[in-house]
Structure 1
Amino acid sequence: MTAPAPIDHPAFFADQHGYYEGVRGGGPGPQLVRNPHGLEYWLVTRYADAKTVLLDARFSKEPRLAARALSEAGYPDQGPGSFFLPLVNSDPPDHTRLRALVSGAFTPRRVAELEPRVEEITHQLLDEIDQLPVHGKESEPVDLMATLAFPLPVLVISELVGVPHRSRAALIGWATRMLTVSGAAGGGPGERTRRLGRWFASLVAARRPGVRMDVPPEEQPDLLSALIAAHHQEERLSDEELVSLLVLLLVAGHETTTGMLGNAVDALLRHPGQLARLRAEPGLLPGAVEELLRYETSLARTTLRVAREDVEVAGAVIPAGAIVSVSLAAANRDPAVCPDPGRLDVTRERAPHLSFGHGIHFCLGAPLARLQVRTALGALLDRYPGLALAERDQPQHWRPVGDMRGLLTLPVRLTSGAYARRSAWSPSGTR
């Protein structure tokens, strides 16, 4: 066991992968680390160990266990609502029941049905970018996070859930604040989550009278109606669970996809050789998306788990009651499963990664997230052949959130040829 190492200090965000590599080199198995608040927990950094922990039911996500473990560790109380997302912070059978209620919204058929709408939304957002000021042969710098990566996922989620068009601007505002406001500003993340919950509760109240309660949830026209019906029929869903599932779809689905898209574009622009290869061979796009997800995942670490009993992982004994987190970012760059893991290679034939998790908590929205990233990348490469970072040595401004890996801003220039119409790319990566 190594001495507790500082994690999530300001310098960590500038060299996240260097830090994780150092932890992984500290010895086999999970290592004990410490965050700026003094909380010590076990960090899993190796790919095989990560899959083991994510599959092991002895590592619990039951909120009462987590709250007790944090309290015993002297961690600052987050207040009511710290574990407001029961689909994330739960074990079977509650997790199984809740997951079944929303899984129908993410079937291959449903995602395929959304594909034309995802394309349409993407190009509507790019049309708005096209209207921005242009001076001479070059455009003014455009922040792709603000103009594309932030709004695209929340608009797609609005389609999926069935949020009325008149309410979508407000939802974009909520989502943007969740991703850009830090610290105590805006009441802190817990308070912002609770406010968002109240917003969704009002949306449910407005929709409820129009939902046909005699129609099964799986036959409802959208996810919001399905959840309301499930709440009404056989009490399959409590009021709090209904609202929390809607909050989760926005917070988790939007935050991760926004980060994925920004990270992918940034990585390609910082590797012009890989960008040129992808432009020359559009058929590489689906595999390139997997490599980009591996190279810079937006979910750097899983939410915490608590050991129900003493558990041995790769020679390290994690004691009962100890807190554990899995670094997906580190596992994705484990040289034991990915040769030369720090190199971006859009032609990599196999890019194993855990960016969507593993086991019973594997991300339900993975197919939809992949669709959005493929669609947006294809559209950007088609419309803007001169797309480049606004400054050659442009620094990366990462969000100071340890569990997530996403950019606050991504200034780019849309150079000559930037306003060509779409024609060459499709979400599947074929011409």
Structure 2
Amino acid sequence: MRAPTPKEPVPEDIDPTADPYAFYAALRAKGPVHRVHVPAGGDSWLVVTHEAVRRALTDPRLRNDIRHSATWETDGGHAIGRNMLQSDPPQHTWLRRLAAGHFTPGRIAGLRPRIEAVARELLAELPGQGTADLVSGYALPLPVTVICEMLGVPVADRAAFHTWSNELAMPTTEKAAADAAGALAGYLTELIAEKTRAPDDSLLAALATTADDASTGPGPGAGGLTPEELLGMAFLLLVAGHETTVNLISATLHSLLAHPDQLARLRATPSLTSGAVEESLRYNSPVHAGTFRFAAEPMDLAGTRIDAGDAVLVSLAAASRDPLTFPDPDRFDITRRPGGHLGFGHGPHHCLGAPLARAEATIALRLLLARYPSLTFATDPTDLTWRTSTLLRGLKELPLRLG
């Protein structure tokens, strides 16, 4: 699905796909909630101000389960299980608890040496000088390797896994996305069966054991994970565990190169690396909107009437450039006081993998800049292609001169 288009007038020179932030600004100037059309997704309400987005993300009347949609009939045969993003409490609370212990700051701190080792291995494979695409050569394989190792995906299968995942995250066509969903569902079903037959120390094997544990369910007698829930969990952790981080690493590097004063400041003070990542999450968020939510009952949302069953999209990217919350929001400033951005969402569905994404992006950036002190764009940055879907936005490639 591509970026939403407004069902109300906006300046003709604004293209929501090419310049989403100008699009969000034009909508914010008119109010917090707007009617839009989402290609292949239908009509929806789009929330664009920081205050309204935060409230929407914690409003229990807005549900993630698609069965609350007025237009829902079936999952279309392409859903890969049922996961945390498609569920509401108490099911969501229980599913999240099963995985949360593997993504705590303490657990991620223990992974940092391995993340650094993977990053150094990838850097060693890049040329010492000349040009290279930092997406395919670095920003992509780093988080793919880490999450696949955590889940127990064999090395030989990772290229195919990413191809399917990439199509699902940013679909090229509806048919291609459906084919990718079917292929990935089949692969994960076989992988889960293998982890169940011969458990190892992977996260997927640990989750598979809950399928037979009747004591872990969300309520008395509820049983453990169903096959559909286990499939959904595997899908969500694998796909969400790397797609957004690829975009975060490449977008942060792009923003730094496009703002030489900030890059110089970071080189002079490497301790600002985590601040650069936080500012990138605000300034050029890899996740532009949360997944669809649906009104469980008629409601008022920031002064707009929402009917039961209506779809609602909350724009994390628009909220993170709201001038009422962030002074001079279109300025990239790695020394900006952290906090307040919604790059990882907010409320019950706040990104479970945020500590992992922060660690990977910070390590990737620090080691890359240390090895290549003279990085520059290898092409006019205006010629770079941004891959955009309803939910995500990221660079297709980032060719750089290494020195």
TM over 0.5: yes
What amino acid sits opposite 2:208 in the alignment?
Answer: I
| Partners of 2:39 and 2:78 in 1: CA distance | 22
Q: Deviations over 1:197-234 (max 9, x none)?
A: 211111122222223xxxxxxxx833111111101211
Change (3 A) 1:3 1:165: closer
| Partners of 2:370 and 2:198 in 1: CA distance | 42
| Bigger mean CA offset, 169-178 vs 247-256 | 169-178
Shift of 1:193: 2.0
| Partners of 1:89 and 1:290 in 2: CA distance | 27
* Structure 2 residue aligned with 1:46: 49
* Structure 1 residue aligned with 2:308: 320
| Bigger mean CA offset, 351-360 vs 310-319 | 310-319
Matches within 5 A, 1:11-410: 11-27=15-31, 29-36=32-39, 39-66=42-69, 68-69=70-71, 79-82=76-79, 84-130=81-127, 139=130, 141-176=131-166, 178=168, 182-184=172-174, 187-211=175-199, 221-234=201-214, 235-410=223-398
Shift of 1:275: 0.5
Change (3 A) 1:378 1:277: same
Change (3 A) 1:225 1:410: same
Contact residue 151 and residue 238 of structure 2 kept, 8 A? no
What amino acid sits opposite 1:21 in the alignment?
Answer: A
Shift of 1:344: 0.1
Contact residue 6 and residue 33 of structure 1 kept, 8 A? no
Change (3 A) 1:412 1:349: same
* Structure 2 residue aligned with 1:428: none
| Partners of 1:240 and 1:396 in 2: CA distance | 39
Segments of 5+ residues of structure 2 without an aligned counterpart are: 1-5, 215-222
Contact residue 80 and residue 232 of structure 2 kept, 8 A? no
Contact residue 143 and residue 241 of structure 2 kept, 8 A? yes
Change (3 A) 1:35 1:63: closer
Q: Deviations over 1:257-315 (max 9, x none)?
A: 11111111111111111101110111111112111110001110111111111222222
What amino acid sits opposite 2:280 in the alignment?
Answer: L
What amino acid sits opposite 2:55 in the alignment?
Answer: T
CA RMSD of aligned residues (A): 2.4
Shift of 1:400: 3.3
Change (3 A) 1:181 1:55: closer
Shift of 1:83: 6.8
* Structure 2 residue aligned with 1:421: none
| Partners of 1:188 and 1:172 in 2: CA distance | 14
Contact residue 3 and residue 33 of structure 1 kept, 8 A? yes
* Structure 1 residue aligned with 2:217: none
* Structure 2 residue aligned with 1:425: none
| Bigger mean CA offset, 95-104 vs 336-345 | 95-104
| Partners of 2:178 and 2:9 in 1: CA distance | 27
| Bigger mean CA offset, 282-291 vs 51-60 | 282-291
Change (3 A) 1:244 1:194: farther
| Partners of 2:251 and 2:138 in 1: CA distance | 13
Query: SS of the residue aligned with 1:344?
Result: coil
| Partners of 1:284 and 1:250 in 2: CA distance | 29
| Partners of 1:308 and 1:161 in 2: CA distance | 34
Q: Deviations over 1:21-68 (max 9, x none)?
A: 1111112x31112234582211110111111010011001112123x4
What amino acid sits opposite 2:239 in the alignment?
Answer: V
Contact residue 179 and residue 255 of structure 1 kept, 8 A? yes
| Partners of 2:115 and 2:82 in 1: CA distance | 26
| Partners of 1:52 and 1:190 in 2: CA distance | 33
| Partners of 2:27 and 2:327 in 1: CA distance | 19
Q: Deviations over 1:316-364 (max 9, x none)?
A: 2222221111000000000111000000001112342111111111110
Change (3 A) 1:314 1:176: closer
Query: SS of the residue aligned with 1:274?
Result: helix
Contact residue 399 and residue 407 of structure 1 kept, 8 A? yes
Query: SS of the residue aligned with 2:255?
Result: helix
Change (3 A) 1:171 1:3: closer
| Partners of 1:130 and 1:178 in 2: CA distance | 31
Contact residue 10 and residue 26 of structure 2 kept, 8 A? no
Shift of 1:188: 2.0
| Partners of 1:257 and 1:147 in 2: CA distance | 14
Shift of 1:173: 4.6
Contact residue 85 and residue 248 of structure 1 kept, 8 A? no
What amino acid sits opposite 1:347 in the alignment?
Answer: T
**How many corresponding residue pairs?**
389
